[in-house]
Amino acid sequence: MSRGTILVTGAGGALGRAIAAQAAARPSTYGIFTLRDSSSPTSTIALSAALRAATPGPGPGGEGSDSSHAYELASLDLSNLASVRTFATDINRRVASGELPPIRALVLNAGYQEHFTLTKTADGFDMTFQVCYLGHFLLTQLLLPSLDRLNGRILTIGSWMHDPSDPHIASGIFTERFRTLLGAGVEAVARGQWSTPETDPSASSGLRRYGAAKLCQVSFIGVPVRLELQRRLNSSPSFNKICSSALDPGAMPSTLMKRGSWFQGYIINQWGGWAFAPLLTWWSPNGFLRTPTKSASDAIAILYEKESPGGVYFNGSDVHTPSEEARDEAVATKLWEESINLAGMTPREANL
């Protein structure tokens, strides 16, 4: 029996690549693994190598392996809402026609983080906000009709950066002025008018915006069950069997950070991370620093092995309580309503 389609955004990064490889290795699972530009060799080379290593034999069109381990690489630019709509329209068409099995697992993994600069998208939003959150919000709404109505799972990749009180966060990043991440309003965060390099030229300005975007993701996905996505799924006759959850994968060696210090980006995030992550993961599996392989295993377990994980926030393999702001029902409801407006969604597009 087919396990359906798994769709992973940001599959070119360290965690996305590991999730894609583990998903592709599962029999009877069709993978759609997205990158900002799937035609770029620099974007696809590491992902293609990981997928070939994870799956046996050559695949159809050179993209998959045997028929029970098939996959494709697809372009999805979350920093462009028109690209999100085009992508979702194509996926919905293919599922409706029977060309693709229904989406069994939707993994909202793609991310963006910059420290000293603030980049705007063509849609006029802070790049961090749109790639981490708003693009995923729109994508999820548009793809809901194509999810498996009985066993569908939605997993968003969170971060401890959504919680200013988390002990992993260095002191001084979330000063009193910035401890309520959406206190200035969703619009200010979305438009890049909050925690700007002009008001704070340090790396903290970008880290705060990343934290705010991750807060939006966690609030949106529905933690606990009463919050927005899971609450709305539960109240929908069409989608009430679909479960949404979030996962904090911990710190991992990766290339997520853009426009930060050379020391932070290469010495700590990459060289140091790859050197120490295996040992620290062995010592403390849900600790500060983890390997992408370990965090990908946690994601796969939530999607396929844990029963009814709706509205749960995981820190690795453990259930975790998100921030107070993420658990505020009024914040989540307001965020949902404003996100529909920011994404320019029509009543027909808003499936919940």
Chain segment 237-256, per-residue pLDDT in tens: 889 899 999 999 998 876 65
Q: Give the tens place of pLDDT for each residue, 280-298.
A: 788 888 988 899 999 999 9
- What's the average model confidence in pLDDT over 117-133? 97
Relative to beta strand 153-157, strand 243-248 is parallel
Answer yes or no: is 348 within a domain: no
The answer, yes or no, to whether residue 67 has pLDDT greater than 70, is: no
Residue 137 is part of a domain; what is its CATH number?
3.40.50.720
Answer yes or no: is 351 within a domain: no
Q: Residue 214 catalytic?
A: yes
Q: Rounded to whole angstroms, how far apart are CA atoms 207 and 222?
A: 23
Q: Residue 306 catalytic?
A: no
Q: CB of 115 within 8 A of CB of 206?
A: yes
- pLDDT at residue 33 in the model: 97
Lowest model confidence (mean pLDDT) among 64-68, 204-208, 323-327, 330-334: 64-68
Catalytic residue among 30, 112, 210, 313: 210
The answer, yes or no, to whether residue 266 has pLDDT greater than 90, is: no
* Cross-strand bridge partners of residue 113: 257
- pLDDT at residue 57 in the model: 52
Answer yes or no: is 99 within a domain: yes
- pLDDT at residue 65 in the model: 47
* Cross-strand bridge partners of residue 120: 126
- pLDDT at residue 60 in the model: 39
3-state SS track over the chain:
CCCEEEEECCCCCHHHHHHHHHHHCCCCEEEEEEECCCCCHHHHHHHHHHHHHHCCCCCHHHCCCCHHHCEEEEECCCCCHHHHHHHHHHHHHHHHHCCCCCEEEEEECCCCEECCCCCECCCCCEHHHHHHHHHHHHHHHHHHHHECCCCCEEEEECCHHHCCCCCCCCCCCCCHHHCCCCCCCHHHHHCCCCCCCCCCCCCHHHHHHHHHHHHHHHHHHCCCCCCHHHHHHHCCCCCCCCEEEEEECCECCCCCEECCCHHHHHHHHHHHHHHHHHHHHHHCCCCCECCHHHHHHHHHHHHHCCCCCCCEEEECCEECCCCCCCCCHHHHHHHHHHHHHHCCCCCCCCCC
- pLDDT at residue 205 in the model: 94
Task: Give the confidence band of 82 by pLDDT, cuts at 50, 70, 90.
Answer: very high
Domain count, the chain: 1
Answer yes or no: is 352 within a domain: no
Answer yes or no: is 314 within a domain: yes
Q: Rounded to whole angstroms, how far apart are CA atoms 6 and 23?
A: 7
Relative to beta strand 29-35, strand 113-114 is unpaired
Answer yes or no: is 74 within a domain: yes
- pLDDT at residue 258 in the model: 52
Task: Find the domain containing 104 and state its range.
Answer: 4-343
Task: Give the confidence band of 59 by pLDDT, cuts at 50, 70, 90.
Answer: very low
Answer yes or no: is 150 within a domain: yes
Q: Give the tens place of pLDDT for each residue, 215-228.
A: 999 988 755 444 57
Catalytic residue among 214, 241, 294, 306: 214
Answer yes or no: is 350 within a domain: no
- What's the average model confidence in pLDDT over 26-49? 89
Share of the chain above pLDDT 90, in %: 63
Which own/partner contact pairs does 44-53 have at CB distance under 8 Å and 24+ positions apart?
44/12, 44/73, 46/12, 46/17, 47/11, 47/12, 47/16, 47/17, 47/20, 47/73, 48/73, 50/17, 50/18, 50/20, 50/21, 51/20, 51/21, 51/24, 53/21
